[in-house]
Structures are given as structure tokens and as C-alpha cells.
Amino acid sequence: MNVQQFTVIGAGQMGSGIAQVAAQAGMQVKLHDIEDAMVQKGLKGIEKNLTRQVEKGRMKGEERDGILQRIQGTTQLEEAAAKADIVVEAVVESMAVKTELFRRLDEICPPHTILASNTSSLPITEIAAVTKRPEQVIGMHFMNPVPVMKLVEVIRGLATKDEVYLAVEQLARKMEKTPVEVNDFPGFVSNRVLMPMINEAIYTVYEGVAEPEAVDQVMKLGMNHPMGPLQLADFIGLDTCLYIMETLYEGFGDSKYRPCPLLRKYVKAGWLGKKTGRGFYSYEG
């Protein structure tokens, strides 16, 4: 499949990152969000990232300008998706929001369009079931920050066709990513392994085993992790961590996925990590 028009729905950190790497790979990109302020913020973020590459000598100014010219922002879903070869959804991690969006995309998009979700934990099969093209629905789970991280988990739904998987695998390589095939289970591989580790790290703080700094130091110095699990949780967002743990707990019904009460407490307090200025660490100022 020759992807010319690449559409991203959701102009947040993940969506704008996906739009950037798609444009860098030479595709025409439409970046959609429901608010123009979010679209403009996403476009400015992309420009800032690319300018940083120019300043470091990794990219020429003309190359940056060419990439930016290939990205068009819009708040109109029909305009964004009506001619898309592939749509990658990167909206809030809510099944209700995603299924409603996929219903609308199914009506708007041409018959050949592949509908992909960047969900980090929700079942692709369930999202696909609300469309009339479940065989063309797939998961493309990028890692944050998208321009830097090489992995894309490619998740087959129950009905996903082999040709669609192969097209998305080829597309990921074109975007200079490494696609890894994963089947449709809660949390896939990345978050099924990562989130229980983060949750267990939170339990060690909750039970008074060690302070957050000590837990992170053990994992960095002892296990050679580039970032400790609690700092990583703050960067991901504690609300996102809680949501994924709840998805795992509900999906498997296994007590080992029970979210730590301290995680719930922090989320209820609005201590969501870096984005709110406070989580397991303070980021104010």
C-alpha cells in the first residue's frame, strides 16, 4: 500500500510526535484536534523539535521547512479524514471516546483507508467491532517521545487482515521505527510488563520499604534502567498509569494487577506527575 495522505487525530504530545515522524518520512500529514488551540500547540511543538535538530546540526533548515510544509492542521474531521490512506488515532485513553471516533471515521474515510489506534492498553478487537471494516482496523502503539523512541507495537485485532498488518509494518519501517507484532490482549506487551513494575514500585513506597528517590536509585544503579520507575510514572502521568492498571485488572481479573491505593490517592489529589507539577517528585519551578 502506497500511503500518501497520513492523518493523525489528536494533537497532543503523542499525536504531534506521530505527525512529525510521518512528515519526516515524506508523507502529507493532516493533524486534527477538536480545538484550534490544541492544533496550534501541536504544530508549534513540532516546529520547536525540528528547530532543535537544526541547531544541533542534525538537519538543514531547508529540510525542516519542507517537513513543516507537509503538515496541515485542522479542526474539521471530514477535512482531515476524507482522503486519508491511513488514520492514526491518538486521543484520550477512553473506550467510549475511541469507539465514537472510529464510528465517525468509518463513515467519512474512503473504503481503502486503514484505521489505526495508538491506544496503550485498550482492545483493538472491541474498537474494530463498531466499524464496518474490522479487517482494516489495527493498533499502532508508538512510544513516548515518538521522534526518539524506535518501537511501534503493531497489534492485530481478531479480524485484522494479513495485508493490513504487512502494510502497517512497512509503514512503520518507512517512519524509521521498528515494528513488533503483538496480539490483542490487555496492555499488549509493553504496558503489561511495565505497569505492574511501576505499580510494585509504588507499593514499596506505600508500605514504607523505601523513599521514592531510593527506589529509583536501586532500579537505575542495580538494573541499569535509564530512569527509575517512579520518575517514569511521573513522566507518563499517574492518571494514565492508574487507567492502564485498571484496564489490566479488569481484563485479566487477576489480583496481581490491582492498582496500589497510594496511586489512587495521588490521582484523586490531582498529583498526576510532571504535567501538574507534582507526583512522586515536585516539578514546580
3-state secondary structure of 151: strand
Is residue 17 marked as binding? no
Which of 49, 121, 191, 199 is an active site residue? Answer: 191
Which of 120, 121, 169, 199 is an active site residue? Answer: 120
Distance between CA 153 and CA 170 in Å, rounded? 13
CA dihedral 70, 74, 77, 80 (to 10 degrees): -10
Residue 153 bears catalytic tag: yes
Residue 191 bears catalytic tag: yes
Is residue 12 marked as binding? yes
Is residue 190 marked as binding? no
Is residue 10 marked as binding? yes
Instruction: Tally Cβ neighbours within 10 Å of residue 64.
Output: 19
Distance between CA 244 and CA 232 in Å, rounded? 14
Is residue 33 marked as binding? yes
Residue 16 bears catalytic tag: no
Residue 199 bears catalytic tag: no
Is residue 26 marked as binding? no
Is residue 14 marked as binding? yes
Which of 16, 32, 118, 141 is an active site residue? Answer: 141
Is residue 118 marked as binding? no
Which of 32, 49, 89, 153 is an active site residue? Answer: 153
Is residue 254 marked as binding? no
Here the contacts of 196-200 (C-beta below 8 Å, separation 24 or greater) are 196/245, 196/248, 196/256, 196/257, 197/229, 198/229, 198/230, 198/232, 198/233, 198/236, 198/241, 199/241, 199/245, 199/257, 199/259, 199/260, 199/263
Is residue 144 marked as binding? yes
Distance between CA 114 and CA 82 in Å, rounded? 12
User: Catalytic residues, which ones?
Assistant: 120, 141, 153, 191
Binding residue numbers for NAD(+): 10-15, 33, 93, 98, 120, 144, 275
**Which residues carry a binding-site annotation?**
10-15, 33, 93, 98, 120, 144, 275
